[in-house]
Structure 1
Amino acid sequence: MASLNDNTAAEEYFNQLRRRCNGIQVKHNGTFGKGVYADSEFQEDELILKDEILVGIQHSSNKVDCLVCSFCFRFIGSIEKQIGRKLYFNNMGLSGCCGGASSSSNLHSLPQGVVTSLMNGEMALPHTDKFPLPSPLSCPGGCQEAFYCSGSCAEADWASSHSLLCTGERSESVSRDALGEFIKHSNETNDIFLLAAKAIAFTILRYRKLKAEHVNKQANQSVSKQSLLLEAWKPVSVGYKRRWWDCIALPDDVDPSDEGAFRTQIKDLARTSLELLKTAIFDKECEARIHLHQFDYNKYNSEMIPIFGRDLVVASPVEDYFLYIDDLPDAEKDKAEEITRPFLDALGDEYSDCCQGTAFFPLQSCMNHSCCPNAKAFKEKRDGQAVIIALRSISKNEEVTISYIDEELPYEERQALLADYGSLASALNVWKIHQLRNLNFLYANIRTQLVTAVYF
């Protein structure tokens, strides 16, 4: 099998992906690497493609503000439960949005008994029947950390990655204790490692499935396990650009003379995370064949664990609910607001927090940046899919480009935001790496629009 960096092999893979997206193709050029090109003409405002998430995570801090399906990121529970949970955590000072309850919510706090009744479904708000949400389903592995909107999402997540990353009693991880240590380390440092773990688990499980299918077929022509492994890596490996510690911009509070030490410490942080993950989910066969412990020397080191950190944003139905109340006829509105206004005031400015996270979108990850783009990328409001719309007419064979940043910002700000990109395709994410023991720097608000090859 060809190397995962082989252009022909990568293009064949993307051609399979684009079968659901007529009119585009992924090609390589000598300047910017991969790019997306129009295979037919597009008119202004025409849909170019929708790109589904391959792997994604909700930010750990966002989980206290939004209860969503751990697989498709759809909001679950009820409007009452969403509001009640947020107020409950606000009262405990645990709001993930701003590090605690907002000043406005402090001025309009509600009795804890009222909040608990709302969260537990013992109290109903007016007109919430217009915004039904799926009932939460617990993780089949019993971890009490993952919840789902349906049995199909629970099964799909279990089969694709969660069976190895579940901390519950039915977990198929090698060591639940080690997995707990890995998750703790990721939450204390950078939850991009959780996305990396999900991609690795996805690949391990896909490799096992491919191997089983090959054995069942009893093919006359033998296929090496290494070839099956490379095939399993392909969905994420095609996005490889640069190593994480090489592509992030130097924080403002780090002197340029200390850049080498900074990047070494970031690399060591990734190495520690990798060692914890290996102990948690790698069986002997995977460790023997993937050789992740040899990442400084492995000939595949530039092809392994390639992940793009792209914004995952799913709008909250709570915003739609309060807008609906506000649009009611005056008499009906006044009656409803007698009940809803105290809750809206208690929520404060963050009443409609979105689900926020990071995900890998296979096709959007190949799109290059332009300061004068011909297309615009945004996230589907309900399911987080990447949607690409033409900003103007696009000719056949013309490259489809998007802007990674707000084009209206001043030049200096745009240059700063693009510092992590170089010529690489990615989208903006802001990461915060906390002060770590034995580290000399506080890596605060590091902009890592691209997080590729987290461990390599």
Structure 2
Amino acid sequence: MEAICPIDSRCADEISALLSPPSHLQIQEYYDKLLSKRQCSGITVKQDGKFGKGVYAVKDFKEEELVLKDPMLVGVQHSSNKIDCFVCSFCFRFIGSIEHQIGRRLYLQEIGPSDRHDCDMEIYSDKSGIDSSDGEDNSHMKNEETLEECTSGSSTAKIPLPEGVAESLMNGRLTLPYSKDFSLPPAVPRPGGCEEAHYCSTSCAEADWESSHSLLCTGERSDPGHKEALLKFIKHANETNDIFLLAAKAISSTILRYHKLKANHLEKQLKYDTASLPHHCDLSLLMEAWRPISMGHKRRWWDCIALPDDIDSSDEAAFRSQIRDLAFKSLQLLKTAIFDKELEPLFSLEIYGNIIGMFELNNLDLVVASPVEDYFLFIDDLAHPEKEEAEKITKPILDALGEDYSVCCQGTAFFPLQSCMNHSCSPNAKAFKRDEDRDGQATIIALRSICKGEEITISYIDEELPYEERQASLADYGFRCRCPKCIEEEP
């Protein structure tokens, strides 16, 4: 039997208002303001009668020129990737040190999954931020004989390090040669003392707290009941689909924006005693708080998710019903954790499904290159005898990491400007990180010269696929491509 969400019927009018497409004027005003805030003078967002929003050049771009760096609206690192990469929870820069990145990964692999949650924060908190001193610079010399014992073999197969080496790397007691040339920002204290979040700066910590984390924090200062409910929600998302974590951030950010807008509104009216005021939803303020989410193209998740290859078309209805039930289960867990009676419509299944569907249709992979790769490549490029001396220390560590020694930070995110870019099978731009792009922003680069007034397009799929396969892949996005390449190749 299909799960029923009573909020859908109880708040039908408010839900309809939230899901109504914004007017052309509202869209233009929103993106003009966003572009101005981000100082993106080379592009504009315009309406198109056939394809909706589109991004257009307002100047000429040269091949390989940066078109756009787009900070995410919401983003999450994949839970499985957190073992390999220690990054800022807001901007997704790598943090700590080269030693900590390597040691933490090896240590967490050693201890197994059951103990990871509690020990990671405990080990990091007091030691990894220590600056290298003369004593620490010599620490790799003390461990040299131990490390040399396992220098045989190659990095294609993992060879365990002697006991204690991984922990010494992670805690800053063992310093690697030349690692100072690859300095990373140290982790800063987290608001709420949350074990799930880490930050590269106070500004990132504060920005994340104000945007969503103050509602989603599982730190020691959280209410025990709130913390328990959130941990159940997070566990469910990690076991099923971390797109639910994006949805939780979207709802939390809307709640926090609403209450900030309401406080400002009351202050203007010189009403400071908010405790005595009735707690009813101000729909106009909710619509304003919802504005960033309202701009994304939406469909209900269970309607737009692609049918997996192993699901027969005859079973499609049952599959989509299961996806709906999965979303409902996630929503109930989130509602237990952060429900706000004043903003009840945000906890309807219809809203939740459309938020997740927006991410399903518009999200972009979050990828940040690891500095660990740069470090080992640097060692490999050293001249002799410096290379030989350094590899006495680094080679056994590389052997312990194995051939996947450098894993990128990986996740998923929603980027407000990038999501406005339309598809072409012969695009003039692509999402591509340069060496200097070390955070989670979407980076769009020109594939060829782009003229002023030309629409900037990217490919949603592998554009090298044959025509029919491209069209089948794009059907999941709800359209049939009519770009010049498809028109030319159409049978």
Q: Same fold judged by TM-score > 0.5?
A: yes
Match in the other structure for 1:11: 28
Residue 85 of structure 2: aligned partner:
66
2:363 and 2:337 mapped to 1: Cα distance? 23
Going from structure 1 to structure 2, the CA distance change for 1:302 and 1:123 (only over 3 Å counts) comes to closer
Task: Give, in whole Å, the separation in 1 of the partners of 2:34 and 2:474.
Answer: 28
> C-alpha distance in 2, partners of 1:387/1:115?
34
Q: Which residue of 1 aligns with 2:382?
A: 328
Select which of 420, 423, 439 maps to 1:366: 420
The reply to whether residue 311 of structure 1 matches residue 362 of structure 2 is no
Equivalent-residue separation in structure 2 for 1:340 and 1:254 (angstroms): 47
In 2, the alpha carbon distance for the partners of 1:226 and 1:248 equals 30
Q: Does 1:394 align with 2:445?
A: no
> Does the Cα contact within 8 Å between 1:4 and 1:234 map onto a contact in 2?
no
* Structure 1 position 283, deviation (Å): 2.1
Aligned length: 412
Worse overlay, 205-214 or 397-406 = 397-406
Write the letter of the residue equivalent to 1:12: E
- Residue 48 of structure 1: how far off its partner (Å): 1.9
Describe the SS at the equivalent of 1:10: helix
Residues 14 and 39 from structure 1, CA distance in 2 versus in 1: closer, same or farther, beyond 3 angstroms?
A: same
Cα distance change of structure 1 residues 325 and 169 upon mapping to structure 2, 3 Å threshold: same
Deviates further, 350-359 or 82-91: 82-91
* 2-structure distance, mates of 1:54, 1:38: 22
- Distance in 2 (CA, whole Å) between partners of 1:238 and 1:91 is 45
For residue 253 of structure 1, report the CA deviation from its aligned partner: 1.1
Deviation at residue 212 of structure 1 after TM alignment = 0.8
The AA in structure 1 aligned to 2:423 is H
Partner of 1:27: 46
Residue 209 of structure 1: CA displacement?
A: 0.7
**Is residue 144 from structure 1 mapped to residue 195 from structure 2 by the alignment?**
yes
Secondary structure of 2:220 counterpart: coil
Alignment of 1:59-208 (within 5 A): 59-92=78-111, 107-171=158-222, 175-208=226-259
SS in 1 for 2:80: helix
| Conserved 8 A contact 2:90-2:199 | yes
Q: Which amino acid aligns with 1:24?
A: I
In the alignment, the residues of structure 2 paired with residue 27 and residue 235 of structure 1 have an alpha-carbon distance, to the nearest angstrom, of 16
Letter in 1 for 2:29: E
CA distance, structure 1, for counterparts of residue 174 and residue 354 of structure 2: 55
Question: 2:341 — aligned with what?
Answer: 284
Contact residue 158 and residue 401 of structure 2 kept, 8 A: no
Residue 71 of structure 1 contacts residue 157 of structure 1 at CA under 8 Å; is this kept in 2? yes
Q: Aligned partners of 2:264, 2:468: CA distance in 1, in Å?
A: 54
Change over 3 Å in CA distance of 1:94–1:213 after alignment to 2? same
1:252 alignment counterpart: 309
Cα drift, residue 173 of structure 1: 9.7
Q: Which amino acid aligns with 2:340?
A: D
- What's the TM-score once normalised by structure 2's chain length? 0.78
Root-mean-square deviation over aligned CA pairs = 2.9
Listed as ranges, the gaps of 5+ residues in structure 2 are 1-16, 117-153, 272-280, 482-491
Q: Which has the larger radius of gyration?
A: 2
Segment of structure 1 superposing worse, 209-218 or 172-181: 172-181
Instruction: Quote the residue 1:420 is aligned against.
Output: 476
What residue number does 1:441 align with?
Answer: none
The separation in 1 between residues aligned to 2:357 and 2:255, in whole angstroms, is 12
Identity of aligned residues (%): 66
Alignment match, 2:299? 242
Gaps of 5+ in 1: 97-102, 426-456
From the two aligned structures, give the one with the greater helix fraction. 2
Alpha-carbon deviation of 1:110?
A: 1.1
Q: 1:86 to 1:416 in 2, by over 3 A?
A: farther
